[in-house]
Amino acid sequence: MINIRLEKLRHEMTKFNLDAVIIPSTDPHQSEYVAKHWKIREYFSGFTGSAGVLVLNKDEAALWTDSRYFLQFEDECKEYDINLHKQSIPHAPEHVQWLCDSLDEGAVIGLDFLQFSKAQMDYIIERSRPKNIELKNIPSLVDEIWTDRPALPSFPIDIHPLEFSGESTASKIQKVQDKITNSKADYYLFSSLDEIAWLFNIRSRDVDYTPLVTAYALVGPDNTRLFCDKSRFSTTAIDTFSKLHIEIIDYKLAIAELQKLDVNKKIITDVSSLNYAVFNAVESKFLFQNSIAKELKAIKNETEIAGAKNCMVKDGVALTKFFIWLESELATREISEFEIGKKLESFRKQQDYYVGESFAAIVGYKGNGAIIHYTAPEKGSAMVKNENILLVDSGAQYKDGTTDITRTVWLGGTPSTELKTAYSAVLKGYIMLEQLQFPKGTVGMQIDAFARFHLWQQGLNYPHGTGHGIGSFGMVHEPPQGFTTNPATSSGSTAHAPNQLTTIEPGCYKKGVYGIRIENIVLSQVKQVTEFGEFLGFTPLTLFPIDRQLIDKSLLTVSETAWFNSYHKMVYDQLSPMLNTDEKEWLKGMCNEL
């Protein structure tokens, strides 16, 4: 089927006189997860990983993705005429030079400008210039082939109430308008869906796992335009927005409306979130680069922090019930990874304000835990027994917050020394970040290295970042801050600030054998102020015991053991009031001093 689609695509390429096409995995808003309408790369490749680019030239169909997805690609695409090209750096546009090298002078590449950011297009333009390669905007390329393409999302839009958001839309818009005035600009243009959800306190389910609304927004000094399907709002919402001078205009009219703006008007925007079609519409009016929402949104307010803490209790309770269930079931039968994931979901569903999972839960038994973004298939997933190692990475969207937690547990038998050494090094790395104090201005890339220290000392490492920002009933991966080795990403280059929510999740993976990852959400706070400035650090919010069967206690320092014990005391103190006697008993056993 995929091969037939590719054949049709080649036919269209001939029709449009194209020598190549680039099909990325993005939507017009540079979103991480995209609505079904935009899953063009998946449609033509069968590859479902969240990162990857499909490139067709005369000779081959090439899928470029990074090490997190190599195993998944082999699994999903082995029967199709698609070659895997391994990226050495996640999201790096390594395919561009390769494609340009493969093309003749004056060749034509077809692409949909809506799916490319300004920076991505600049990069392609630079690489294609020496051979005078033309870049042609072909938004309709797939329409003839993908006849049953899903429409743009049209789910009802909910207003995210003040009790969860902690700040009114009026107040947020005022902050944006102050920025416009201070910058002597006329407009602030928003294109990132999470920024728009934050600004208007709106939520929907356009995108899997993420409560976002497909929209653009233009804030002016006196009024605001929200480009979004009006029929999705309740009349109450339309009325409330109208009083705030917010006009709702059809999503598809956004680019035309932007083009119509007075030539003398000046726009501030976060260019990195704009697609190239929108960028072209506003380029002449662009004043300077700014990501006000990232600046403001990343700093959580008291209500959002309280909500996050509340969610951690709910997640901890759900996980306690889940692991008790798992332990007792495994004593009598084998259970598929898929069933385990569904059961975990059912325990979270019982919690207040539950909306859905924040991403597809990763339940990876033994070697499957080494597939970084593994999803257990409904049919034929591995059967888990009461032995060996299981990795469970999961999270939820609650109306008062978003969660993301990973635990790696030993289910029975005797773990190898190699495994215990690796697990202990991962844990020591996690604790190192918890204990770390760093001066204001320290960026994600610097902090990331500490989580790897103990692994590096033994020649071990992990092929992913050490953590990411997380939203408040928003995106599970929320920029700008995080921890990664890649300086070209916002999570590598952004300085951490107080009152941000970030995950810490070091790991270690052995292909076909095991996956280890330990992940908590932490709150950044000022820890000390000296003549050398403000020093920040992290406080763990996630509440669930870390498996101790895989720890080689002799490898922990006194200080690490003390941290471990104090964390588990906190977990027990905070979760136990919500549990029944049996559950308390079980948790007590998991939270004893090491």
Q: Which two tokens stand for residue 23?
A: 């099909």
Binding test (CB under 8 A) with its own copies, winner from 356, 415, 439, 498: 439
Contact track, its own copies, 131-170, x by CB under 8 A: ----------------------------------------
Closest to its own copies by CB, 446 or 565: 446
**Cβ burial, residue 294 (10 Å; 0-12/13-18/19+):** buried
Instruction: Determine if 438 is a binding residue for its own copies (CB under 8 A).
Output: yes
Q: Per rule CB under 8 A, is residue 271 in the interface with its own copies?
A: no
- Give me the least distance between CB of 487 and its own copies, in Å please: 6
* Residue whose CB is less far from its own copies, 154 or 461: 461
Q: Is 442 one of the binding residues for its own copies (CB under 8 A)?
A: yes
Q: How far apart are CA 387 and CA 331, in angstroms?
A: 10
- Structure tokens of 65? 């993705």
* 284 binds its own copies per the rule CB under 8 A: no
Residue with tokens 């995210």: 160
DSSP track, 441-478 = T-BHHHHHHHHHHHHHTTT---SS-SEEB--SSS-SS-
Site for its own copies in 522-551 (CB under 8 A): 528-530, 532-533, 535
**SS3 for 20?**
strand
Decide whether 216 or 509 has the Cβ nearer to its own copies.
509
Under the binding rule (CB under 8 A), the answer on residue 290 touching its own copies is no
Q: Is 455 exposed, middle or buried (0-12, 13-18, 19+ CB in 10 A)?
A: buried
In angstroms, rounded to a whole number, what is the distance separating the alpha carbons of residues 235 and 563?
52
As measured in angstroms, the least distance from the Cβ of 184 to its own copies is: 10
Among 485, 499, 549, 574, binds its own copies (CB under 8 A): 485
Say how many C-beta atoms besides its own lie within 10 A of residue 413's C-beta. 12
Annotate 467-486 with b (16+ C-beta within 10 A) or e (fewer): bbbbbbbbbbbbbbbbbbbb
Amino acid at 386: N
Supply the minimum distance, in Å, between the C-beta of residue 278 and its own copies: 22
User: What do you get for the CA distance between the two ends of the chain, in Å?
Assistant: 55
How far apart CA 350 and CA 334 sit, in angstroms, is 25
Q: Which stretch binds its own copies (CB under 8 A): 254-262, 340-348, 357-365, 439-447?
A: 439-447
For 208, the enclosing helix (H) or strand (E) is none
Say whether residue 310 binds its own copies (CB under 8 A): no
Binding-site string for its own copies from residue 445 to residue 484, where x marks contact by CB under 8 A and - marks none: xxxxxx--x--xx-xxx-----------------------
Should residue 487 be labelled a site residue for its own copies when binding is judged by CB under 8 A?
yes
**Least gap, CB of 536 to its own copies (angstroms):** 10
* Dist. CA 308–CA 202, nearest whole Å: 18
**How far apart (Å, rounded) are the C-alpha atoms in residues 151 and 129?**
36
Shortest separation between residue 445's beta carbon and its own copies, angstroms: 6
Locate all alpha helices (DSSP H) within 479-557, ordered by sequence.
Answer: 490-493
Whole-number minimum distance, CB 220 to its own copies, in Å? 21
Minimum CB separation of residue 540 from its own copies in Å reads 18
d(CA 372, CA 464): 8
Q: Which is nearer to its own copies, 289 or 346 (CB)?
A: 289
Q: How far is the CB of 276 from its own copies (least distance, A)?
A: 21
Between 67 and 310, CB nearer to its own copies: 67
Select from 83, 102, 493, 565 the one that contacts its own copies (CB under 8 A): 493
* Interface with its own copies: number of residues (CB under 8 A): 29
User: Would you give the DSSP letter of residue 546?
Assistant: P
Of residues 156 and 487, the one with the C-beta less far from its own copies: 487
Angle between helices 94-102 and 118-128 (to 10 degrees): 30
Footprint of its own copies on this chain (CB under 8 A)?
435-439, 441-443, 445-450, 453, 456-457, 459-461, 485, 487, 493, 528-530, 532-533, 535
